[in-house]
Amino acid sequence: MVRLLVVAAVSALALCPVVGQAQTPPAAPAPPPPVYPPYGAPLSLAQAKAAAAAAEAEARKQGWAMVITIVEPNGAEVLTLKMDGAQYGSVDVAERKARTAALFRRPSKDFQDAVKSGNLNSVFTGALAIEGGELIVVDGRVVGAIGASGGSGVQDGQVARAGTAAIKTP
């Protein structure tokens, strides 16, 4: 009889859910997506020339031969400046960096950082994940982008940011 009660009790416990079992904690809410500046009207040729001239001046000051490309918000090329001695491969790279910044409304370095942290999604978007593409923002709106190539990624970024600084943003 005792044996029968023990078997019945064990069977009953086996059928009951165990209290305190490990449970998956509720998922934390996803962080909100980043806010990127909206697109504005394309920059003028005069603004593009001013940005390219400032970027070229920075490259010359540092002794770097660079290619500098300015694009509209839709990625269409406005102008490309190839300094004497810059490698030919940098022509395409500078344009792709500028297009990446313009089309995705963020510096190309953001994609480089994402890849370094293990997020390879950006590689499949067509973005060029190398520093040197920067937005040109006026009145809080993306009016274009600049890409620089010819040095290290850090050097390219420095030259591109010098170009964006030449366009007055309030």
Please check whether residue 25 lies inside any domain of the structure. no
- Overall average pLDDT of the 21-28 stretch: 71
Is 152 within a domain?
A: yes
Q: What is the tens place of the pLDDT at every residue in 73-127?
A: 999 999 999 999 999 999 999 999 999 999 999 999 999 999 999 988 877 888 9
Any domain includes 9: no
CA dist 105 and 127 (Å) reads 11
Q: Is 119 inside any structural domain?
A: yes
Domain membership of residue 32 (yes or no) is no
Our count of domains for the chain comes to 1
Domain assignment present for 29: no
**Least confident range of 5-9, 35-39, 115-119:** 5-9
Q: How far apart are CA 43 and CA 143, in angstroms?
A: 5
- Residues 149-161 pLDDT 10s: 999 999 999 999 9
Cβ–Cβ < 8 Å for 114, 121 = yes
Q: What is the CATH number of the domain that holds 106?
A: 3.30.450.150
Domain that holds residue 151: 45-165
Whether 92 maps to a domain, the answer reads: yes
Flag whether 30 is in a domain: no
